Amino acid sequence: GKGIAVFTSGGDSQGMNAAVRSVVRMGIYLGCKVYFIREGYQGMVDGGSNIVEANWSSVSCIIHKGGTIIGSARCKDFREREGRLKAAKNLVENGITNLVVIGGDGSLTGADLFRQEWPSLLDELLKTNQITAEQREKYKFLQIAGLVGSIDNDFCGTDMTIGTDSALHRIIEAIDAIVSTAYSHQRTFIMEVMGRHCGYLALVAALTSEADYAFVPESPAPDNWQKKLCLKLEQERQAGQRLNIIIVSEGAIDRNGDPITAELVKKVVVDNLHQDTRVTVLGHVQRGGNPSAFDRILGSRMGAEAVMALMEADETTEPCVISLDGNQAVRVPLMECVKQTKAVAQAMADKEWEKAVALRGKS
């Protein structure tokens, strides 16, 4: 059978374990040898005990766990050709020519580059006698399928990334808890949620918690945001509301591109309205805890589809990302999605917010 390796890279997210489990079981079911690569690209570069064969039971009892049981890392070595050469040698030694990479756009970019370089890496390994001519021939094609694990839902090409739904559950639980105390004391609460370039978490959290105001990166606050905010909060109190909730995305900005932080918002509220105001930064709580049913199913479906894509691939097949389109798991070209995701980030950096939203909206 074919050799398939699965690894998780970049930031972790809930549901990655469901994907790992699904890759292992679908791979074994289809007669493949499946390997874990521990600690992302670092494990691929270092080899040794970082690359281990998985069996049916090595993925038992993990679907309910947050994070990733096979470890994730950021890896400097893999950004250099020398590191990728070591990685190639380790894959050949283990008979691995199929990779399922679970990560964000950085990890997928690295995977694509690795695949492009693969023939020349093998040539170099052969020339320096690190692999045999027989191995050079046998392992000449590298196939890649990507899955997007990210709580931010910040990837173009898929409706939902693995982990977003669970992060929203964490956020909503936290807001609900805070609402009950805020209600008792007539307080204003400002909650900072994750999402550096993408306001999805902040927006959905605001809509589902009856928040009074939200700051998101894609829609920079207008110049007179302080006045608008205070007016809205006052109106709500006058209408009889006992509390106010404001959601601030960690990437929130004003129209100059300057950050709008939870502390800044607090200062505006306290200085102008003298309300009893508290800030809560949710931080890594959002990445933690058990994955939701949705993320378990999403990871499971995507993992299985990734293995199918690899099994059906031939030397002409381009790397794909498994994405959710409506309720369908579909294969989309990896590099197109990465390019579009990067174009969104660039448009945001250039302060072309409408362009960024349009680019993201297309996918």
Q: In the complex, which residue's CB is closest to ligand ADP?
A: 106
Given the residues 12, 46, 112, 152, select the one marked as catalytic: 152
The residue (of 10 and 195) whose beta carbon lies closer to ligand ADP is 10
Q: Given candidates 74, 237, 278, 355, which one binds ligand ADP under the rule CB under 6 A? A: 74
For residue 111, the minimal CB distance to ligand ADP (Å) is 8
Q: Using alpha carbons, select from 339, 313, 341 the residue that is nearest to residue 100.
A: 313
165 catalytically annotated: no
Enumerate residues 6+ apart whose C-beta is below 8 A from 340. 156, 157, 359, 362, 363
Q: Report how far residue 289's alpha carbon sits from residue 115's, in angstroms, rounded to the nearest whole number.
A: 34
The residue (of 36 and 213) whose beta carbon lies closer to ligand ADP is 36
Q: Given candidates 5, 63, 75, 356, which one binds ligand ADP under the rule CB under 6 A? A: 75
Number of residues binding to ligand ADP, judged by CB under 6 A? 16
Q: For the window 3-22, what string marks contact with ligand ADP as x by the rule CB under 6 A?
A: ------xxx-----------
Q: For the window 40-59, what string marks contact with ligand ADP as x by the rule CB under 6 A?
A: -x------------------
Q: For the window 23-42, what string marks contact with ligand ADP as x by the rule CB under 6 A?
A: ------------------x-
Asked if residue 79 binds ligand ADP (CB under 6 A), the reply is: yes
Tokens of 208: 């589902």
The residue (of 106 and 288) whose beta carbon lies closer to ligand ADP is 106
Tokens of 337: 């999605």
- Binding to ligand ADP, residues 86-125 (CB under 6 A): 103-107, 109-110, 113
**Rg for the chain (alpha carbons), in Å?**
23
The residue (of 10 and 15) whose beta carbon lies closer to ligand ADP is 10
The residue (of 72 and 244) whose beta carbon lies closer to ligand ADP is 72
The residues annotated with a catalytic role in the active site are: 152
Binding site for ligand ADP (CB under 6 A): 9-11, 41, 74-75, 78-79, 103-107, 109-110, 113
